[in-house]
Structure 1
Amino acid sequence: MSLTIRRERLGWDLAATALLIAVVALIFADGESFAGSRWMLIGVALAVYLLYALGARPYVGIHEGVDDPSPLASALLQIGLVAALAVGTALEPSMLLLQTLVLPLIWMTSRSTTQAVLVTIGNGMVLALAYAYAGDFDADAVIAGVMTTALSAAFSLALGLWITRIAQWGVQRQTLLTELTAAQAGLETASREAGALEERARLARDVHDTIAQSLTSIVMLAERARVDGSPAALELIEGAAREALLEARTLVAVSSPAPSADSLGDALQRLGDRFTRETGVQVDVAVSDAVLAREIEVVLLRCAQEGLANVRKHSGAASARVTLIVGDAAELTVRDDGRGLGGVTIDDDRGFGLAGMRDRVALVGGTLTVQDARDDTGGAAGTRLAVRIPLLPNEETA
């Protein structure tokens, strides 16, 4: 049982007890109409009080969590309340004061609004007859009884319907609040899961575009060193390992995209020089002198790394060119003179590289295209990877 319901029932207990005391005081203040009538009236008042305390009290309340009585319990309680009030009124019309407790209890012990309305009207009719009986069915007594009970019934119906509507609105509000709370909890869970998935995808792209590429370089250099064992090969392996370590620390620290260089242009130049030393493929780098937002620099650098990694693994090229032009958009191009794509497209989802690069570019509103390049005669001449990221005015000086 909730604290609200306990407090509400405590209020009813105090009100019922106060009413009992007031009725008993009224009985003693009035004279007896016949011998023993005073104790009969006290018995009626106690009967109404006990019907509340021992029968109707568990069903008192307008808040959610209060159960309805069974059909039998509802009928017995209401018959007992109406009968006790009718007997008291027939003995002494002032006992109509007990209506202040009986009429609300009729509504509380009803299983439906229709039942409460019908029992309230029936109670009014019975009380009118009891009131007329107390006045020996005198015309004035009949009129007074009808008017008094009709007004009481009308007030009870108006108040009962109003309270019932409030209670229904409260239940609906509580239901909506519960559903809203559940929806918010579900949304928070979905948001956390989406954030976790996005973060895992970001980390996967970063690991693939940085550490995985560096480890690939180290493996290829180690294979070459096994053949010739030259100090130059060992020096390249050491340099590649240091670059991989630096990239790993960069990912952990979430620092700048080019921690070993002063700018994106320097980072791209170092990337091209390292690629040339490791593979023998000549890489030319041409970069516009512009400062971009850190997020865009990260995307462009990772795309250049992935583009050269694909040149290493698939193209068989002798040379490559990395170009970055910054205007209304940042446009990065990685072009080689190798064998071309051979019909492969981004949508083929062959491996994680191109798909991850496409997702990374899309996150900053850019587009990625990979297609066969063309020479001056219109024939195939390698592969051209192009990234275009539109720039907002403040991104060029971020």
Structure 2
Amino acid sequence: MSAVVRERVGWDLASAALFVVIVILAFTLPPRFPGSSWYLVATAVGIAAVYAFGARRYVSLREGPEPSPPVSWLLQAALIILLAVGTSIEPTMMLLQTIVLPLIWMTSRSTRQSILVTLLNAVVLSIAYAASDGFSPGMLLAGVVTSGLSAAFSIALGLWITRIAEWGTERQRLLAELTAAQHGLEAASRESGAAAERARLAREVHDTIAQSLTSIVMLAERSRLDGSHEAISLIEDAAREALREARALVVVESSAADPSGSLAEALRRLGERFGRETGLPVSVEASPLVVPRDLQVVLLRCAQEGLANVRKHAAAGAASLVLTVDDDAVLVVSDDGRGLGGVRPDGADIGAGGGFGLAGMRDRVALVGGTLEARDGEAAGTTLTVRIPLTVGQETA
């Protein structure tokens, strides 16, 4: 059962109880004139009918249907007239105010209308009360006092309940806005997470599978020229590596480093494989200190991308990988090739734009709080430096 239905059922029970009380009073009080008891019953029935067939659907402290202006004024006029007729016959019928006054507030379109109609009802009831005893001064005063007090109490209670209802409505509105904002935030978070995951997968594919496929293409071109079995063997190794990396991505595991090994060993294997594929000697100097697993992935991916740039752009005769681990993990990839000026005629910073690999490398390093710097070497070539802060107290391997 909804809150509105429960509220209306409460009104139904209260109205029925009041109707029974009025009927009992009509036949227990001395009749004012022959048949007056039935007039009182008819008045009570009329008010009950106005409630049941007109005002009931607007009875709610929550948001609900609002009567049109003609309906609102018609319902209120009917209630006031019936109450005044009953009171003019028997002053005790002012008891019906207990339901008429709340219905005036419920069927009003504004607080101003509720107050005006309540005051109008007090004036009419004062006249009706006095008319029940021939407009004697005593009855007129009693009518004014009784209806005035009733109107004052009704206005005070109505304003209080209206304020509570407005607060409840505002609370519901704010709750709905908060719920909508939460749903929007959840949607934005999902979209942001999906975008971040797409970017992560793009970096992984570029830094792993794409590099392996590039090696396969270059080795295939070399094999076409010399037809050596060594080139074919390297193609097979590169293809197996690409397959392993693809499977690792599918199961959402990093293929960057062997859990049983170390970053230093992974860098040495990378340098050895790069040298076999390109014929370019790569010297590797790596600290044996342990680096956290997630940072191993970042550093090894940067080493892969750095060597890929050496192969594609530098026209170098040699390259080197140097890893030092202290408060920071610092990876330096250098070559003796053309340098940044030879790669970028405008002399722009390698991290300021360019291909996806360089942008991805910078993003990857930034995600772990590190920095990336690329500059021309002191004598020749390019030096790429990746610096990532470490937690204190790393153990040695």
Normalised-by-shorter TM-score class:
over 0.9
Cα offsets for 1:91-120 (capped at 9, x unmatched): 000001111110000000101000000111
1:64-75 alignment, distance < 5 Å: 64=63, 66-75=64-73
Mapping 1:243-262, distance limit 5 Å: 243-253=241-251, 254-255=253-254, 257-259=256-258, 262=261
Q: 1: CA distance between counterparts of 2:23 and 2:44? A: 7
Corresponding residue number in structure 1 for 2:2: 3
Corresponding residue of 1:168 = 166
Q: What corresponds to 2:110 in structure 1? A: 112
Residue 365 of structure 2 is aligned to residue 364 of structure 1: no
Letter of the 1:150 counterpart: G
Structure 2 CA distance for aligned equivalents of residues 189 and 260 of structure 1 = 36
Q: Cα deviation per residue 1:299-336 (whole Å; 9 max; x = unaligned)?
A: 00000000000000000101001001111111000000
Which residue number in structure 2 is paired with residue 378 of structure 1? Answer: none
Q: Is the partner of 2:300 in helix, strand or coil? A: helix
Letter in 2 for 1:350: G
The one-letter code sitting in structure 2 at the alignment partner of 1:285 is V
Is the contact made by 2:351 and 2:362 (CA closer than 8 Å) also made in structure 1?
no
| 2: CA distance, partners of 1:17 / 1:264 | 85
1:349 offset after TM fit, Å?
2.2
Q: Any gaps of 5 or more consecutive residues in structure 2?
A: 342-346
Structure 1: distance between partners of 2:225 and 2:218 = 11
Deviation at 1:351, TM superposition (A): 1.3
**Which residue number in structure 1 is paired with residue 155 of structure 2?**
157
User: How many Å separate the matches in 2 of 1:388 and 1:239?
Assistant: 31
Q: CA deviation at 1:238?
A: 1.2
Matches of 2:263 and 2:101, distance apart in 1: 84
1:248-287 matched pairs, under 5 angstroms? 248-253=246-251, 254-255=253-254, 257-259=256-258, 262-287=261-286
The corresponding residue for 1:215 is 213
SS at match of 1:259: coil
Change (3 A) 1:107 1:396: farther
The 1:180/1:358 distance shift into structure 2, 3 A limit, reads same
Residue 168 of structure 1, CA deviation: 0.5
1:227 counterpart residue number: 225
- SS at 1:393 equivalent: coil
Separation (CA, whole Å) in 2 of partners of 1:56 and 1:394:
78
Q: Would the aligned equivalents of 1:346 and 1:355 in 2 still touch at CA under 8 Å?
A: no
Could you say if the C-alpha distance between residues 287 and 368 of structure 1 is closer, same or farther in structure 2, counting changes exceeding 3 Å? same
Change in Cα spacing, 1:395 to 1:155, as seen in structure 2 (3 Å) is farther
Alpha carbons 2:350, 2:374 under 8 Å: kept: yes
Q: Which residue of 2 aligns with 1:315?
A: 314
* Contact 2:321 2:334 (8 Å CA) reproduced: yes
Instruction: Give the letter for the 1:353 counterpart.
Output: G
1:202 to 190, 195, 200: 200
Contact 1:261–1:267, Cα closer than 8 Å, also in 2: no
- Whether the 8 Å CA contact 2:340–2:350 is kept in 1: the answer is no
Q: What value does the CA root-mean-square deviation take over the aligned residues? A: 1.5
Displacement of 1:179 in angstroms is: 0.5
Shift in Å, 1:40: 0.8
Distance 2:328 2:234 in 1: 36
Aligned equivalents of 1:289 and 1:347: distance in 2? 29
Name the residue aligned to 1:98.
96
Sort the Cα spacing of 1:256 and 1:225 in 2 relative to 1 into closer, same or farther, 3 A.
closer
Counterpart in 1 of 2:344? Answer: none
Residue of structure 2 in register with 1:191 after alignment: 189
Is this contact kept in 1: 2:372–2:385, CA < 8 A? yes
Between the aligned partners of 1:270 and 1:32, the Cα distance in structure 2 is: 114
Q: Is the 8 Å Cα contact of residues 271 and 305 (structure 1) preserved in structure 2?
A: yes
Q: Distance in 1 between matches of 2:84 and 2:396?
A: 91
Look up the SS of the partner of 2:377 in the other structure.
strand
2:56 corresponds to = 57
Percentage of identical aligned residues: 62
Matched ranges for 1:73-92 at <5 A: 73-92=71-90
User: Displacement of 1:145 after TM fit?
Assistant: 1.3
Q: Secondary structure at the match of 2:151?
A: helix
Query: How far off is 1:344 after superposition?
Result: 4.0
Amino acid at match of 1:92: E
Determine if contact 2:351/2:373 at 8 Å carries over to the other structure: no
| Deviation string, structure 1 residues 283-310 (Cα, Å, up to 9, x no partner) | 0000111111111110000000000000
Deviation at 1:185, TM superposition (A): 0.4
Mean Cα deviation higher: 91-100 or 144-153: 144-153
CA distance in 2, matches of 1:54, 1:22: 21
Give 3-state SS (helix, strand or coil) of 1:387's partner.
strand
Cα deviation, residue 346, structure 1: 3.0
Distance 1:156 1:165 in 2: 14
Query: Is 1:393 equivalent to 2:397 in the alignment?
Result: no
Between 194-203 and 140-149, the greater mean CA deviation after superposition: 140-149
Q: CA deviation at 1:338?
A: 0.4
In 1, Cα distance between the equivalents of 2:338 and 2:92?
110
Q: Which amino acid aligns with 2:227?
A: G
Aligned residues of 1:292 and 1:397 also touching (Cα < 8 A) = no
Secondary structure at the aligned position of 1:284 is classed as strand
Q: Distance in 1 between matches of 2:113 and 2:248?
A: 75
